[in-house]
Amino acid sequence: MTGTNLNFAFTDEQNELRRTVRSFLEVKASEAQVRRHMELPLGYDPALWAQMSDELGLTGLAIPEEFGGHGFTFVELGIVVEEMGRALLPSPYFASIVLGANLLLHCGDDAARHRYLPGIASGTTVATLAVTEESGRWTPDAVQLRARREGDEWLLDGAKTYVLDGCAAEVLFVAARTDTGLSLFAVDRFGRVVRRQLSTLDPTRRQARVEFDSTPATLVGTEGNAWPVLMRTLALGSAALATEQVGGAQRCLEMSVDYAKVRKQFGKPIGSFQAIRHKCADVFVDVECARGVAHYAVRAAAQLSEELPAVASLAKACSSDAYARAAAASIQIHGGIGFTWEHPAHLYYKRAKSSGHLLGDANFHRALLADEVGI
């Protein structure tokens, strides 16, 4: 692959950003706090969300200054998401900042950018993306929700499901089918919208079913031209999600190694047993390989490299597999305690499973990668 800077080293400023976010989350998103936040009505703590926005400026980090952001790159965004994945932070950051903001930035609609991005950048507006329907697939044929025109107004009819933070969002960006083709719409009036929280495996990341019944909406971008925008958003989201998965997998590895050092059997730490050592070594290799390709993907995203679709799918597939194996190994290494509600291992396992399917599973992304490279 060519075209992307192969220097994987982070700058001093980027390393300082990581330290700042990590220390903030260690104080504000401990295991006990994560458990409390995920039980709140919105699935996250609005006070913490405001603090992340107002004090750390995380919501506007990678949004251009002209839209109220701080103008950093996708690399910095990847660092923040990786640290949030490490902490299992329940928040609408991925839905609003990674998906919503990036869809706006690449939709070609300046009016929509000026209307929505300042609120998203300040954290006062939570946005999300509603693409998937009953099948859960990210393919054009899977989108059946209809948009029709009555006079000067667009109206939506149908349903979306698996919508991240769909009950908390103040604006939904919806993929819908018109007579011209697949198009994007913004919904920020909810009088004719029914939103229901879904019962999902992962309690740290809320999803919703959203039903539209002659719901007023605003066209975003050009009618019939949604799919290229959605594919760009999918690639960017997959690159960011890969870093989030790496953060979670790294934490699983750390918990496993720490436990293997202190848990004793037959008078020896279990980490001295070959089976445990090999399992930890295998997870370490998995995580480091996933980290390398995930960091490559966010650099491709920062440069909007032509190889972004390929490397983003590669990163998503590798990181999904690595996280699943790391989380499963953590439960096994912890033994009986790893299966209990009181231990955090199951929370990481559930996040690994849910993020593995989010934006398409590993097999879906391997197929996309094969198409991109012409196999």
The residue among 182, 193, 208 whose CA lies nearest residue 107 is: 182
What fold does the segment set 12-106+118-123 form as a domain? Butyryl-Coa Dehydrogenase, subunit A; domain 1 (1.10.540)
CB 90 within 8 A of CB 43: yes
The residue among 75, 66, 56 whose CA lies nearest residue 123 is: 56
* pTM value surpassing 0.85: yes
Q: Which residue in this structure is represented by tokens 């029709």?
A: 148
pLDDT at 358 > cutoff 90: yes
| Amino acid at the residue 130 | A
* pLDDT value for 30: 94
Left if phi > 0, otherwise alpha if psi is -120 to 50, otherwise beta: which for 267?
A: left
* pLDDT value for 160: 97
Model confidence band, residue 4 (pLDDT cutoffs 50, 70, 90): very low
* pLDDT value for 3: 47
Q: What is the pLDDT of residues 191-230, one digit of tens each?
A: 899 999 999 999 999 999 999 999 999 999 999 999 999 9
pLDDT at 374 > cutoff 90: no
pLDDT at 303 > cutoff 50: yes
Instruction: Count CA atoms within 13 Å of residue 26 on its CB side.
Output: 7
Model confidence band, residue 280 (pLDDT cutoffs 50, 70, 90): confident
Model confidence band, residue 262 (pLDDT cutoffs 50, 70, 90): low
* pLDDT value for 129: 97
What is the tally of helices (H) and strands (E) in the chain?
12, 9
pLDDT at 290 > cutoff 80: yes
Q: What is the mean pLDDT of the chain?
A: 92
Domains 12-106+118-123 and 227-373 share a fold: no
Q: Does domain 227-373 have CATH number 3.50.50.60?
A: no
Enter the CATH code of domain 128-225: 2.40.110.10
Degrees, nearest 5: CA angle 101-103-106: 110
The residue among 188, 42, 221, 56 whose CA lies nearest residue 122 is: 56
Helix (H/G/I), strand (E/B), else coil: 147: strand
Q: What is the pLDDT of residues 144-189, one digit of tens each?
A: 999 999 999 999 999 999 999 999 999 999 999 999 999 999 999 8
- Domain residue limits, the chain: 12-106+118-123, 128-225, 227-373
* pLDDT value for 1: 44
The residue among 168, 129, 112 whose CA lies nearest residue 359 is: 129
